[in-house]
Amino acid sequence: MKILITGVSKGLGRALADTYMADGHQVIGCGRDPEQILDLRFGCDEAHRFDIVDVSQANKVNVWYETVDASHGTPDLIINNAALMNAPANLWEIPTKDFEQLVNVNVTGVFNVIRAFVPDMVKRGTGVIVNLSSGWGRGVSPQVAPYCASKFAIEGLSKAMAEELPDPMACVPLNPGVIATAMLKRAWGDDAERYPDPTEWAKTAAPYILQLGRKDNGQSVSVPGA
């Protein structure tokens, strides 16, 4: 399977990329950390592709699409994983710049990738788009209002898009669960260490994502055990 993943520099995206490559799938990924992207690029064969891309910038995503389309063609599965977490604070204390940056990555970034890559999938008539949501996209906690807002947006965006896709395509908002990523540590500090790390999480999450399809179209789903 040809799998496109955003936010592969670290965390869940990196764990999924490593797992899928090890299982024989072709992985195309992007991230913003040059060192980590180069590490991925030089650590795999040319069947895979990893690029430095800021998904919040439509022009850069469009250029990425053009180069990926030329080298690898249309993906079978898109996993929109790239996201930011705000530093914990009351909403009225969040700097405007931080709020805008979070929304630009977490929401606009998902739109930019969909707008670039999904038309070819629709033209072909097959493909699955998985947009990573959160428990904070279905419920809330204090001091993470910007992140909650962005993930509630992902839920709505995904469910509406699901009604637009032709059968047998699917768009699914996925709650990955609670994982000990750098993002979670920013919100919870040392308490994040009580949860599975991304590599352990991917053992369950990676095969679960692969079985998502039309039966799950527009459904709010969660990785088992989340």
Q: Which residues are catalytic?
A: 147
> Rounded CA gap, 148 and 114, in Å?
21
- Is the CA virtual torsion 78, 150, 183, 202 positive or negative? negative
Q: From 81, 80, 78, select the one nearest 3 (Cα to Cα).
A: 78
Three-state DSSP state, 182: helix
Which residues lie below 8 Å from residue 127, measured CB to CB, with a gap of 6+?
A: 74, 75, 76, 77, 78, 118, 121, 169
Quote the Cα angle for 207-122-223, to 5°.
Answer: 20
Return the sign of the alpha-carbon dihedral for residues 128, 59, 159, 154.
positive
DSSP state of 55: T
Q: Which residue stretches of the chain are H helix?
A: 11-22, 34-42, 58-71, 96-103, 109-124, 145-162, 182-188, 198-210
What is the rounded CA–CA span in Å between residue 17 and residue 21? Answer: 6
- Judge whether 117 and 65 are in contact, CB under 8 Å: yes
60 touches 51 (CB < 8 A): no
